[in-house]
A = this chain, B = another copy of it.
Amino acid sequence: MMLCNHFLHSPISILSSSSSSSSSSSSRSKLKPFVSKSVMDDRSNKFKEFPFVSIEHKNLMVDLVSTLENRFDSQLLPSTLPSHVQHYQNPNATSQASLHIRSAHAHSPIDFILGSWVHSELPTGGSLDITSLSGYLNSSNDAPNFVFEMIRSSPTMLVLILDLPPRKDLVLWPDDLKTFYEDTQLDKHRKALETLPEVQPYFSSSLYIRTVASPTAIMVRIQTENDGGERMEEIIRDHLDPISKQVLSIWLDHCACAKREVGEAERAYLKKRDGIIRNKTIEIDLGSSFPRLFGSEVANRVLEVIKDYFSV
């Protein structure tokens, strides 16, 4: 839950820690073709255009969103976001973002899915680009949620967060640790990424974000050589793409679609824990980076809408 809206928090830590963030001209030329007048006018489709990221990055996002939406096609309701929340920007248009939220019908295990991208011009001349996709279950199912986020502050620097954050204290429920994390062999994907020399573990500056993560969370910082981003695109295509799809597949098959018995007491526990995480997410994020990127008026407007979905 927390991690889903991690993008609202993470920009500051990324901005403050990135030493070199200028986009090279080669990566710029890759990005331009996706921005067109017709896309800018059609706000409802804009989310899936991912207009500011590379083709490899966009392909991965589009595939993940499609896989998730197709799997729950009959259960997901059309988006009802007002257009000024589907796409928004700060007053001087240096930051813009798209938001995509779809609730599910009452009998679905899904509470809602949330996708977003943020593009923000950096003072250094480069840009910060964040794309994310999350799946939230409701309290009829006690399985973990799905969280995916790519944060890119230069063509050669990327932070990936890919996790199935647990919704119960795994210390008290070791059987859930076995079912969702051990039996599904989730850790092998983290290990596979770790073998790449460009990949280092990433520690969020927020201890709360670390606290809500699972023991198999993939939280990595990828730093490639200064080659204009070519090696990074290769890593996205050959490693992040297949790994992300495999983890989403585990979530779809073993979590979202799992047949779970959830009693009344456990539902109350899930509602309480989910609620705390969602409130904490909004508190941490709204209080810091989100207003800085979009100004307080825009930030508040978008937040009021998100709050509706986040209420349990």
Assembly CA distance A190 to B207 (angstroms): 13
Q: Which partner residue on chain B sits nearest A217 by CB separation?
A: B210
Minimum distance in angstroms from A187 CB to a CB of chain B: 7
Chain B residues with CB below 8 A from A187, complex form: 207
Query: Interface size (A, Cβ < 8 Å)?
Result: 24
Assembly CA distance A174 to B280 (angstroms): 9
Q: Copy number in this complex? A: 2
Provide the A155-183 mask, 1 if CB < 8 A to any CB of B, else 0: 00000000000000111101001000110
Assembly CA distance A216 to B207 (angstroms): 8
Assembly CA distance A171 to B276 (angstroms): 8
Do residues B276 and A174 form an inter-chain contact, with CB atoms below 8 A? yes
Do residues B172 and A207 form an inter-chain contact, with CB atoms below 8 A? no
Do residues A273 and B172 form an inter-chain contact, with CB atoms below 8 A? yes
Provide the A199-223 mask, 1 if CB < 8 A to any CB of B, else 0: 0010100011011100110000000
Chain B residues with CB below 8 A from A212, complex form: 171
Do residues B272 and A172 form an inter-chain contact, with CB atoms below 8 A? yes
Assembly CA distance A244 to B28 (angstroms): 47
Query: Does residue A61 face the partner (Cβ distance < 8 Å to B)?
Result: no
Query: Does residue A282 face the partner (Cβ distance < 8 Å to B)?
Result: no
The 8 Å CB contact of A208, one of B177, B210, B211, B272, is: B177
Chain B residues with CB below 8 A from A207, complex form: 177, 181-182, 187, 215-216
8 residue pairs A–B, Cβ–Cβ below 8 Å: A169-B169, A169-B273, A177-B207, A177-B208, A177-B211, A187-B207, A207-B215, A207-B216
Chain B residues with CB below 8 A from A172, complex form: 169, 272-273, 276
